Amino acid sequence: TLFRIPEDQELPLNALVSAGAFSGGVTSLVLTPIELVKCRMQAPVQASTLAAAGSMAQPSPFAVIKDVFRSEGLLGFWRGQFGTFLRETGGSAAWFGGWEASTLFFKTRLAKAEGKPAQDVTLPVTQQMASGALAGISYNFLFYPADTIKSKIQTGELSHSGVKPTFSNVGRELYRTHGLKGLYRGCGITCMRSAPSSALIFTIVANLKAFFE
């Protein structure tokens, strides 16, 4: 492997975090076009040609795709890529790292109480779900500002202010007008959604892995 870890040994935390970051970076290339279409469907009044048409009806995905390609070309679908890259790279590292770190914490405590090695300990479902929930919150909270800035760039919401739509310019403008609170707007409900979903994902995966092994 990249970290040259023997196959009979578990990967250390830094290797797992790095793997999560790498997978997130690759995934961002696929997510950016999809999220651009989604954001412009949710905020159609900011989309250039669609706004000029004067229609307030929600456009279809195909209408948005056609508009983006006609007005911005193929590369237009990757508008906001840097924000997605930051969110997915850092967020995936936090997602997998949060799960591994929290389960290791619970296993160490349980192993000490039971007097056995940590690798021989099976966590109860409640602790597995708590670890998954923490991972989900870490993913969203730590890099939420990157997602906020990305969405503003994709919808063109600040175009009327004359701000050039770069990641740094939009970030500064948002902070200047709304402060840190503006960068985290909507973060609470996002974490409330992510906590139970991540808890279920990690718990189901961990138990299915144990079952098939």
Q: What is the pLDDT of residues 193-210, one digit of tens each?
A: 999 999 999 999 999 998
Q: What is this structure's pTM?
A: 0.85
Is 19 within the bounds of a domain? yes
The pLDDT score that the predictor gives to residue 59 is 80
Residue 22 belongs to some domain of the structure: yes
Residue 128 pLDDT > 90, yes or no? Answer: yes
Average pLDDT over residues 100-109: 94
Structural domain of 181: 13-26+80-212
Q: What are the Cα distances from residue 201, in Å, to 62, 99, 180, 195, 196? A: 31, 11, 31, 10, 9
Decide if 67 is inside a domain: no
Would 55 be classed as within a structural domain?
no
- Structural domain count, the chain: 1
Residue 47 clears pLDDT 50, i.e. is over it? no
Task: Please give the single-letter amino acid code of residue 67.
Answer: D
Confidence of residue 140 (pLDDT cuts 50, 70, 90): very high
